Structure 1
Amino acid sequence: MPGSLLPRAPSRVRRTLVAAALAAAGLGVSALAQAQEAIKIGLVTALSGQSALAGEAITRGMQVAIDEINAKGGLLGGRKLELVRRDDEGNPAKGVVAARELIYREKVAVIFGGLDTPVSMAIVPLVNQEKVPFMGPWAAGTGITKNGANPNFAFRVSAVDEIVDIGMLAYAQKTFKTARPGLILVNNPWGESNERGLKAAMAAKNVTAAGVEKYEANDVDMVPQLTRLKAAGADTLFLVGNVGPSAQVVKSLDRMGWKVPVVSHWGPAGGRFSELAGPNAKDVHFVQTYSFFGKQGPVGERVIKAMTAKYPNVKGPADITPAVGVANAYDAMHLTALAIAAAGSTQGDAVRQGFYRIDRHEGLIKTYVKPFSATNHDAVGSDDYVWAQFIDNRIVPVGLTAN
C-alpha cells in the first residue's frame, strides 16, 4: 500500500511507554537534585551575651573549613556543605530546643555543640537517641564524650576536663611551685567535672587541696569564698568558670589585695575577659589548644590568610580570637567531612562509623593519626595543650609578647 507504515501501537501501550519515559526522566531529575542538595551542618552555640565572641570564633573556624571543602568540589559527588546556626544563649533548655529544630526541621547531618558543658550535656542524650553525630569544638566536660551510650554519637576536638586537670596541676607545680592549691569552681556540671578531675590529679601526686569553693554563674562577689581559701593557706588558685564569673574572681582578688597565682581552665578565653577583669587579667594563666602567634606551619599560614581575606576585622593573629575556638572548629569540621566521605552517605550511624575510619589528617592543631576509635571519641590529648595569658588584650602563649 502506498505510504504504508507500521501499525500504530494501541493507545494503552503508548500511554504506558510515555509514562515510563517520564518516570525515567523524573528519576534523573531527582538524582540530580539529590546530588546538588546541600549537606547541612548544624551549630548550637552562644551567639549572644558575654561568650558571643567565642561562638563567633567557632563559626569562623567552621566556615573557613567549609569554604575549603566546597572549593574542592564538596562531598558525596559534588554536594556542598552549608552551615546552619542557632543561638543557645548559654542555656541548656534553649540548646535542646535548638538541637531539635536542627535535627527535625533542618535535617542536619551532624550537630556541632558550642561552648558550655551543661548545654552539651543536655544535647548529648538527644543525639544518641536520634542517631545524629555530635561534634564538640569547645565544651570540655569529660561526660560529653564519655557518656555511657552504646553506640555513642558524641565526638570532640577540644580539651577534656580530666586531661586538662592533670595539666593544670603539673603546670602550677612547675611554674609556681604549688604545694597547696585552692579550688574556685562554677557550681554546675562543668565545675563538678573539674572537681572530680582535679581531686584525682592531686591524689595521684599526693597533693592536698587547701579547700574547694563554689560560686553561681551570676555571682558578682567571690570575696567570701576567696577569703576562706586564703585563710586555709592556698598558695595557688585553680579556677574553672566562663568569662563573666572568672572576671569577678579577679576583681574580688583585687578588692582583697591578695596576690596569688591563678591557673585556669580556658573559660577566660571565651570573650571580653580582659575588659571585664581589668589590668590584673594578665595574671591568669589558662590552657589553650592553639595559638596563631609565633611561627606557623602551612595549615596555620593558610588559615590566617583565609581569615584575613574573609573577615574585614581580621588584620593578623591578634584578631583571630579566641584562637582555640577557630582552631578546634576548623579541625573538627575537616575531620567531620572525612567521616562523611568515609561513610559515603549522611546517614547518622554510617557517619559515626566513618569517624573510626579516618586514617591521617594534616590539621591545624596537629597531624591526626587515627584520631577516633570505638573507645576514644576525643581527638586532642594532653600533649596538644599550650598555656596562655592576656597581654594588651591579646591571648598569647605564656612567655611571648603580643607584638
Structure 2
Amino acid sequence: MIKTKHWLVVAVASIFLAACSSKDEGPRHAELRSITTEVTASEVWSTRVGIGQGNHHSRLRPVHQDGVIYVAGRHGAVAAINAESGRKLWSKELGGRKPVFGRYFGGEPARLSGIAVAGSMLFVGSENGLVYAFNADNGELLWEQKVPGEVLAAPTVGEGRVVVHLGSGIVAALRARDGEIMWTHEEEVSLLSLRGTSPAVINSGGVIFGSATGKVVVLIAENGMLAWEERISVPTGSTDLERLVDVDGAPLVWGGNIYVSAFNGDLAAFDLRNGEVLWKREYGSWRGPVQAVNRIVLVDQQSHMISIDRSNGMELWRNSDLFLRSLTEPAVSGSYLVSGDRFGYLHWFNRSNGELVGRYQVGDDRIHGAPVIVDDKLIVQDAKGNVVAIRAQGQ
C-alpha cells in the first residue's frame, strides 16, 4: 500500500483547534478594544515585490544586512531595497512564469518559500525543491541546486554551509560557494502534518532543528551525523488533528541551552551539549520562542502572548486580548514587543507586563512573519507583497 503524506495549512489548523476548544457560540477571534496608547506609528515608505501569495500560506519574511532589505515573493520576485528610502536597488524574477501587467501567465510557478543573507550572498528556497544563490550586491544568479524535497522554511547559513530542512524530512547541507550537496540526514515524517518545517539553527558546530514527530534534533555540522535527539511531546488526543506534535518554529539557542516548542505540546528547555531536559511546560505552539532581553516570549496556538522565565519555565505574564488573530512571533523594539496579525495590524505590548499599548493598521492583508527591526524602523511584508517601513514614536 502506498502511503501518502497529508499536509494541513498551519494557520487554518491552529485556528480550528483553538475554536474547537471553545463554545460554538463564542467569538471566532478577538475584536479590537480600546487601549491606553503609549506608542503611535506612521508609514515611512512602502513598495511592492511580486503580486503576493493568493490563498497560499507563506512564511516569507524580509531579511536585513548593512542597510539593505532583501525580499522575495512566492511567484518568483526577488528584490533588494534601500532600508532608508525604500528604493529598489535590484530585482529579479525566478521560475517559468513572467509578470505581465501585474499577473503571471503560463509556466511553472517559482513557489519561493524563504530567504537568507550572509556576507555577499543571498540564498532563496523554493517549494519546487530548489535552492538559489545570488550576489547580494547586484542580484546576479550564482548557482541553483536541486534538493530532495520541498524547501518549506528559510535556508540557514553558517560555517560555509547552507542548510535546508525539507518537507520530505531530509535536512541537506550545501556548500555555500557553489551549491554542492555536502551531506543529507533523513528524519521520520508523519502521515498527517502541518504545512511547514522547522528552520535549522547552526550553533557551536551543530545543526539544530525540530521534527514533524515532536523531537528536537542536533546534527554535527561537519558531516551531518546525529549528535543527539530528544522528544518534546508525545501525540495525545482522540483525533488525528489533536495528535499533531510538529515542531515548526525555529529553535532558540541561548546561553548553552535550546528552547523549542511543539504544536499541541510543550515548550521545553534542553542542554545543548547533551540533550538533558531542563524543564517542560504545557505551551503548545507552532511558532518558535523568542529571546526578549532576559526572558523568553512565546505566542501559543491560540495567539496568547506569554512571557516566561528562561531558568525554570515559569509564566511571568500572559496577554490573551488578541486570541485567534494569528499573531506572529514578536520583534523586540526597545521596551516593547511588536507582533503582526492576520488582519493587517501591528500590535505593541509592554515588555515588562504584557499590556497592549499601541496599534497600527499596515493594510487589509495578513502579516505572516515578525517585523524586522532596522534602526528606528520596523519592516513588514504582507500577503499581497507589500513591503512597508513603519516608524514608531514613544518607544
TM over 0.5: no
Structure-1-length-normalised TM-score: 0.29
User: More strand by proportion, 1 or 2?
Assistant: 2
Which of these two proteins has the greater Rg computed from alpha carbons? 1
User: More helix by proportion, 1 or 2?
Assistant: 1
